Amino acid sequence: MIRVAVLDDYQGRAAELADWGSLGPETEVAFFGRTIPADELADALADFQVVVLMRERTALPRSVLERLTSLRLVVTTGERNAALDVEYLRERGIPVSGTRVPPRRAGVSPAVEVAWALIFAAAKRVVVEDRAIRAGAWQLGFPALLAGATLGLAGLGRLGSQMVGPARAFGMTVIAWSPHLSPERAAAAGAERVSQGELLRRSDVLSIHLVLSASTRGLIGEQELAAMKPGAVLINTSRGPIVDEPALVRAVSSGIIGGAGLDVYDREPLPAGHPLRSADGIVLLPHLGYVSEDNFRVMYGQVVENIAAFGEGTPIRLIS
């Protein structure tokens, strides 16, 4: 009997989104709806030969993997996973399979849709005014105008570039910065290449689309937030650690910047009692950037294919 653990099935839908039964009667699949606490992971997964990760929701560092003596295969959705010690698994001879992003439909990616949802929610005071109406109040403040405003993009790759078209449609000026962005590449995407300092100073909305790395961790901290416009809005749909969360809470609560919208956090799920949960002026979403039924059907379908291929002795979609 091969036992498969499917982690972090938040919506409780994984069982119906792929043909797990095609793996045969000798494969038993268990679905975990909530994140397993880090100190319980090794015990909870001790009897499983296959562990399926939903992106980086659960971290599997070496300290946990060393205790999983029954482990034979790890499958992660996505093409990389910074929360998984792939090098250690390679040392043990345990393959890691990923999933490929499905071809994009016309329009922008789900992550870009979420970024714009957060821009509107923060700039147009959607959450604040919704709560006010329910409490009996009416029109507590002025929403920002996007027409004529400047959208700053920290990162102009696949997702950052997709932010440009909608911004132009709303009449926004678009500027961009990343460590290796050239003026020519920025112009080709429809943006003006500026320095990091100018990006901070000029942006009415600053949206982050950078990969988390040693150089981008903590990129936006107290000093950078202080350099922004008092009414500016910060949007992060990339990775939580790029922004210093305590500094952001202080900046918004003290009026250093106008507000923020976040889809990603240092720790996910966001712990109970976290200061962000009670911070006024910050709109929170539970990491929805890649979440859609269509995407999950593709990802879980490929997960089943990966497990079946491993069972046949020919692992596929290997992550190096």
> For every residue of 97-149, which 3-state class applies, written as one string?
ECCCCCCCCCCCCHHHHHHHHHHHHHHCCHHHHHHHHHCCCCCCCCCCCCCCC
Confirm if 223 and 243 have CB atoms less than 8 A apart. no
- CA atoms of 65 and 45, how far apart (whole Å): 10
From the list 56, 224, 245, 268, the catalytic residue is: 268
Q: Nearest Cα to 8, choosing from 45, 63, 62?
A: 45
**Options 57, 209, 239, 317, the catalytic residue:** 239
221 neighbors 196 (Cβ within 8 angstroms)? no
Supply the DSSP symbol for 240.
G
Q: Are 246 and 265 in contact (CB under 8 A)?
A: no
Nearest to 288 by CA among 121, 125, 146, 156: 121
**Which amino acid makes up residue 221?**
G
Sheet harboring 233-236: ordered strands across? 192-193, 173-177, 150-154, 205-208, 233-236, 259-262, 282-284
The 3-state DSSP class for residue 190 equals coil
Q: Which long-range contacts link 9-13 to residues 24+ away (Cβ below 8 Å)?
A: 9/33, 9/54, 10/34, 10/54, 10/57, 10/286, 13/293, 13/296
- The one catalytic residue among 57, 287, 305, 317: 287
**How many CB atoms neighbour CB 37 within 10 A?**
9
Does a cis peptide bond (omega within 30 degrees of 0) precede residue 269?
Answer: yes
Known active-site residue 287: yes
Residue 40 designated active-site: no
Residue 238: half-sphere exposure toward Cβ, Cα within 13 Å = 27
Positions marked catalytic: 239, 268, 287
